[in-house]
Structure 1
């Protein structure tokens, strides 16, 4: 999922360089959403693994 966030960020950068502001803004929003979903899932995974390892 982090890979897709980076891909959308790169698309946003390329679109911004060529002057496509609307496309760049949309790609940045998608990248942000995917990044935050990745962070939440990563933290949940770490917590579950830590709790599972204790018992």
Structure 2
């Protein structure tokens, strides 16, 4: 799909360009999701403590 969209004649060109970028993108995405999950867990824990008090 990317190859066709960008007009690359060979999948090798597309893969050479984008496979080196993907690990960093995946890492950044995982970090962002982890921040969101941890923030929600902290908020839930605070609510639980308030309700228990």
Question: Could you state the TM-score of these two structures normalised by the residue count of structure 1?
Answer: 0.57
> Larger C-alpha radius of gyration, 1 or 2?
2
RMSD after superposition: 1.6
The structure showing larger relative contact order (alpha-carbon pairs under 8 Å, at least 6 residues apart) is 1
Question: Could you state the TM-score of these two structures normalised by the residue count of structure 2?
Answer: 0.59
Number of residues of Structure 1 aligned to a counterpart in Structure 2: 39
Could you list the runs of 5+ residues in structure 2 that have no partner in the other structure?
Answer: 3-13
Q: Give 1 or 2: higher helix fraction.
A: 1
Over 3 Å off, 4+ runs: none
Could you list the runs of 5+ residues in structure 1 that have no partner in the other structure?
Answer: 1-13
